[in-house]
Amino acid sequence: MSRTPTTLDLPALVTDPATRIVVCCGSGGVGKTTTAAALAVHAAEAGRSVVVLTIDPARRLAQSLGVGELDNTPRTVPGVGAGGGRLDAMMLDMKRTFDDVVHAHADPQRAAQIIANPFYQSVSSSFAGTQEYMAMEKLGQLRAEADRTGRWDLIVVDTPPSRSALDFLDAPKRLGSFLDGRFVRLLAAPAKVGGRASVKALAGGVAVATKVLDKLLGAQLLRDVQTFVAALDTMFGGFRERADATYALLSEPGTAFLVVAAPERDALREARYFVERLAHDQMPLAGLVLNRVAQPGPIGVDRALGAALQLTDGEESGAAERAAAAALRLQASVGALAARHRAALRGFAAAHPGVPVAVVAAAPTDVHDLEGLRQILR
């Protein structure tokens, strides 16, 4: 049984002082970055002090906000905040954030050893889950600075363009488990004990495993891993603790998750998974943002097709009639698409009747400036 969902009031959400963090999540290519930017602009122009964090490597946020370049440091967006607010924007630099974590939790000598290690350089720039983990790290840092200095009263997060929306919640724990896991500790055992004596002492178990891994990974990579983990030993547990702390922050009442989707089968399936996961984890879901929804024309599909047929049914139809018929057929195709989108929305509402929905109509062109972002919230 299909039903019409309740309406999600996005402007009210981001202007409410009780809302401290808004997390835009969803599968790739559904408009998370544009949604996050539009929400941040609206909140700033309503008088709030906002920072928006994007993890979009295509730099679409910088282009939309009219900022030439974004990096790991929040930068003020010009032309926003006439109502007394302000907007800062930044783009996550995954490796720099990881480097900052190392410097913050290790003495200078050990930090230098870790950062110079080839295995660390690989993990910090390309290991699966690192981007999502560092997004969590940066969110925690921004919230700590906001609490300490009062610089921002709202943080808007555009989550990574992962294959699956669930990666944002799962990857930090996976990376923490890897860095704090038995397998990595096994690799590190000879380096931690030190010298040839340790290899002999551990010959029964570790040497066998090392010999196999030596063949699979190569001797130099294995040594790099062992050296990396030995240098990182004082930080073990810290990765998981900080991930747990930020995870707890995300479950607080001042946080609002927005699941962003397009009115397409795969995107809505991802949205359903995420809604169910948030409910399972007792995370505060504000609702669904359904982007790029086609709007029906002034006349119905059947009527438009019938009129097009009448205009071209006869030997006397000319160029004007053919052009009008083509326009009517185009309107009919858009109307049919709008009907499919409405059906998809009703199907989502039937499966999740308690989830409010904000519908964003499909725009004729891509959003590429501040005025386009303002139009979304209107």
207 or 318: which carries more pLDDT confidence?
318
Q: What average pLDDT does the structure give for the chain?
A: 79
355 or 104: which carries more pLDDT confidence?
355
Residue 375 pLDDT class (50, 70, 90 cuts): confident
Weakest mean pLDDT among 66-70, 218-222, 297-301: 218-222
pLDDT for 177-205, tens place per residue?
Answer: 665 555 555 655 554 444 444 444 434 44
pLDDT for 74-106, tens place per residue?
Answer: 989 988 876 789 999 998 888 888 888 888 878
pLDDT > 50? residue 222: yes
Order of strands, sheet of 285-293, starting from the edge strand that comes earlier in the sequence: 75-76, 86-91, 49-54, 154-158, 21-25, 255-261, 285-293, 357-361
Tokens (6 digits) for 355: 């989830």
Question: What is the reported pLDDT for 232?
Answer: 62
Strands (DSSP E) contained in the chain are 21-25, 49-54, 75-76, 86-91, 154-158, 255-261, 285-293, 357-361
Please check whether residue 72 is in contact with residue 93, taking contact to mean a CB–CB distance below 8 angstroms.
yes
Buried b (16+ CB within 10 A) or exposed e, 347-359: ebbeebeebbbbb
Distances (CA, A) of 288 to 33, 118, 160, 161, 353: 15, 42, 18, 17, 12
pLDDT > 60? residue 216: no
pLDDT for 271-285, tens place per residue?
Answer: 898 899 889 888 999
Question: What is the reported pLDDT for 212?
Answer: 47
- Rounded distance, CA 56 to CA 177, Å? 26
Question: What is the reported pLDDT for 40?
Answer: 94
pLDDT for 101-158, tens place per residue?
Answer: 888 878 888 888 888 888 788 777 776 667 777 888 888 889 999 999 999 999 999 8
Question: What is the reported pLDDT for 300?
Answer: 78
Question: What is the reported pLDDT for 374?
Answer: 86
- CB atoms under 10 Å from CB of 85, counted, come to 20
Please check whether residue 269 is in contact with residue 289, taking contact to mean a CB–CB distance below 8 angstroms.
no
Tokens (6 digits) for 199: 């290899």
Q: Which CATH superfamily is domain 10-168+238-296+352-377 in?
A: P-loop containing nucleotide triphosphate hydrolases (3.40.50.300)
pLDDT > 80? residue 311: no
Please give the average per-residue pLDDT across 312-319, as a whole number: 69
- Rounded distance, CA 360 to CA 378, Å? 10
pLDDT > 50? residue 210: no
- CB atoms under 10 Å from CB of 257, counted, come to 23
**What's the predicted TM-score (pTM) here?**
0.81
Enumerate the domain spans of the chain.
10-168+238-296+352-377, 181-236, 301-340
Weakest mean pLDDT among 7-16, 316-325, 349-358: 316-325
Please give the average per-residue pLDDT across 56-64, as a whole number: 70
Please check whether residue 294 is in contact with residue 360, taking contact to mean a CB–CB distance below 8 angstroms.
no
